Amino acid sequence: VSELSLGVAEELAPGPHAIVREGLFGMHAEVRGLPLDSGRKVTYPVFNGMAYVSGRYENLTPQLSAHPQKMLSLDKVRPGVWAYRNSGGREFRVYVLTDGGAFADDSFDFDRSGRLNKPLDGWLRAAAVNGPGDAVDLDAHARAVLTGWDLDVEPAGVVRYRFQANLAGAPILHFAYAHHVKMLHGSSQHLAATAPSQTPTKGKMRAVVGSTWTLQVDTHEASSLGFLPPGEPGANRRDLLAAEARGAVEWLLRGVNWRTTMLKGTYYFSGKGFQKVGMVCLLVEKFYGTQHSKTQQCAALLARGFRCLYGRGAAGDCTGAPQGSYYDEEWGGIPSREGFYDSGCEGATDFGNACYNDHHYHFGYFVVSAAILVKLSPEYAHDGPFVAYVHDLIRDAANPGSNDRFFPRFRHYDWFALHSWSRGVVPSGEGKDQESTSEEVNLLYGMYLWGRVRRDSKMQQLGATLLALTSATLQEFFLMKDGNPHYPADFVKNHVTGIFFQNQLDYRTWFGTETKFIHGIQMLPLTPALLLSRKPEFCQQEWGDIMSRLQLPSSDPWTSVLLTGSLALVNPNEAFNRLLCMSPARMDDGLTRAYAL
């Protein structure tokens, strides 16, 4: 519903708007007046969390409008400031500023239709009045227009948002999510008295004033992660687990079992198979040693599988490998060839990898597996084609480089939301979405491990910071404990949100509506990084309220996911015994019984 629109009275050039500038936090959209060579235009800077809607007018006449809401009144408060009220009961503050950021003089005024009385070379702004005292705060900061936004990520979990304004150094009034407010640190910003603003899916936002926000998150737990969960199995289980690990690797080494496990046609299911094998390799290393023949044979399977992805011509039998990817010059990435010419962009083929859907899910599995390979066989840290391939996976999904002309920065990661979105370039009326929080975590975990094994401290620190930020976000909005303040109690009782769109929450998955799907997709793959967000208190509530009521037969592969991702954090002995009763052949296709145990 349009409550207030900032348009123009003159005729505009035909065709859509143009994106003339974009960054991590927003973009600038431009519409042009006629004739095209007149230089008349409006540029709208659009940013996440903005308190004001703004347009930079260049010799065009502003026209306020709304549909289906009607304007009830538009009263001048003082030069450059108006109070707008519509038929929906909403009030807005409207501002006209000069190019230099001063309030327009008294010669400017709107008529009853919402049209300004003359063309403007300056700014038109509007902001919602959500509380009785908001007008004072909004007026006080109306002259400072947000025009740009930089990001600094520093060691020890410090993140800085540096705002750029039309008035150099002017503090910006901007809205923050609840998790931002919890992370704000230092005196570079302060909370404003402005009333909270309701969002579609993340509760209420608070207004913050500052030219810089400093956020700090504790990265100690993320920086302490290993390849396997902390702790040691009891002495009474060690021999059993060692035998399970040996049995799993011997099965993989038999015939073509490794290939049918790791090369499954698509990047997503192949990736699951790679990490499944990688975890077996880690278990064999744990119980038999790094130099044991079975450990190195297992690592060799990973290496062979990777060659089928980046050097198929010399890799031998790669039956079942994905069709391959290519460098896309238009969007700057390496999407799958499969699905490019058919319905793949709608998710029917490899979940839409061809149009950048889910790249952080798919590629995360390979990045974790690559780190495992380097851990077990360090010579691969210096294998040029292998390292280049892994770097390209990271550059495609979460490129940290600001000067990389081949890949955009952080394709999937939203540095304002502080989590990723899985939707690629296919538009949706409900906005971007994310379904599997745990598979997002897996990529960030992979970046952390990849930095660790290659002694790349910047990559390792970035991975730890992203893990800590994202895990805090998941606990705030995605994994709902009793009493979550952001959603109705009748929804909180589900404990997970399902598909998390920007504009709605939908308690289902893209592949079905069964409860085991909705919850299980938040638990796989099983890694130590899950412990950052799936805390025992949450798992106790989820298991007691939801999971314990499901049948969970030992013949269902989803049972292995739910037992390891939920019950194991509540009652590990019960989970162990129930997993032991499952056949290795009935586990999830990304999990072995050995690793689950």
pLDDT at 344: 64
Are residues 261 and 387 both part of a single domain?
yes
Q: Which token pair is 574?
A: 């019960």
- Do residue 201 and residue 225 come from a single domain? no
Q: Give mean pLDDT, residues 42-63.
A: 98
185-199, 330-344, 429-443: lowest mean pLDDT where? 330-344
Q: Identify whether residues 415 and 507 lie together within a single domain.
A: yes
| Predicted local distance difference test score (pLDDT) of residue 345 | 75
Same-domain status, 233 and 202: no
**pLDDT of the residue at 161:** 98
Q: For position 347, what pLDDT does the model report?
A: 61
Helix (H) or strand (E) holding 451: helix 437-453
CA–CA separation, 380 and 386 (whole Å): 7
Q: How far is CA 214 from the centre of its chain?
A: 20
The overall average pLDDT reported for the chain is 96
Task: Look at strands 197-198 and 204-210 and give their pairing.
Answer: antiparallel
What share of the chain has pLDDT > 70, as a percent? Answer: 99
pLDDT of residue 69: 85
SS3 label, residue 133: coil
Per-residue pLDDT tens digits for 86-109: 998 999 999 999 999 999 999 999
Structurally, how many domains does the chain consist of?
2
Boundary (domain end) residue, out of 175, 195, 216: 216
Domain boundary among 197, 216, 235: 216
pLDDT above 90: residue 463: yes
Same domain, 243 and 194: no
Q: Are 553 and 559 in contact (CB under 8 A)?
A: yes
For residues 474-478, give the mean pLDDT: 98
Residue type at 413 in one-letter notation: Y
* Same domain (yes/no): 18, 100: yes
Residue 426 banded pLDDT, cuts 50, 70, 90: confident
Residues 201 and 228 occupy one common structural domain: no
**Which segments within 88-189 are labelled E, that is strand?**
91-98, 120-129, 146-154, 158-165, 172-176
**Final residue belonging to a domain, choices 183, 216, 249:** 216
pLDDT in tens, 568-579: 999 999 999 999
- In this structure, the answer to whether residues 240 and 348 fall within a common structural domain is yes
Q: What is the DSSP string of 366-418?
A: HHHHHHHHHHHSGGGGG-HHHHHHHHHHHHHHH---SS-SSS-S-SSEETTTT
Residues 350 and 454 in one domain: yes
pLDDT in tens, 298-354: 999 999 999 999 999 889 999 999 999 999 999 999 999 988 777 667 667 899 999
CATH number at 537 reads 1.50.10
Region 129-150: mean pLDDT is 97
The 10s digit of each residue's pLDDT in 485-513 is 999 999 999 999 999 999 999 999 999 99
Integer-rounded Cα radius of gyration of the chain: 27
- Helices 235-252 and 267-288: crossing angle, nearest 10°? 130
3-state SS record for 24-92: CCEEEEEEEECCHHHCCEEEEEEECCECCEEEEEEEECEEEEEEECCEEEEEEEECCEEEEEECCCCEE
User: Quick one: pLDDT at residue 168?
Assistant: 85
CATH number at residue 128: 2.70.98
Same domain, 228 and 361: yes
Mean local confidence (pLDDT), 540-557: 97
CA angle 569, 556, 344 (to 5 degrees): 100
The answer on 535 and 392 residing in a single domain is: yes
pLDDT, tens digit (0-9, with 9 covering 90-100), for 244-295 = 999 999 999 999 999 999 999 999 999 999 999 999 999 999 999 999 999 9
The per-residue pLDDT for 343 is 66
pLDDT tens track for 348-384: 789 999 999 999 999 999 999 999 999 999 999 999 9
User: 241 and 207, same structural domain?
Assistant: no
Q: Is 184 helix (H, G, I), strand (E, B) or coil?
A: strand
State which residues form the domain around 8.
Answer: 2-216
Matching residue, tokens 């060579």: 37
The confidence score (pLDDT) of residue 341 equals 75
Residue 224 vs residues 220, 227, 260, 467, 538: alpha-carbon distances, Å: 6, 10, 34, 11, 22
Does the structure show a pLDDT above 90 at 77?
Answer: yes
The whole-model pTM stands at 0.97
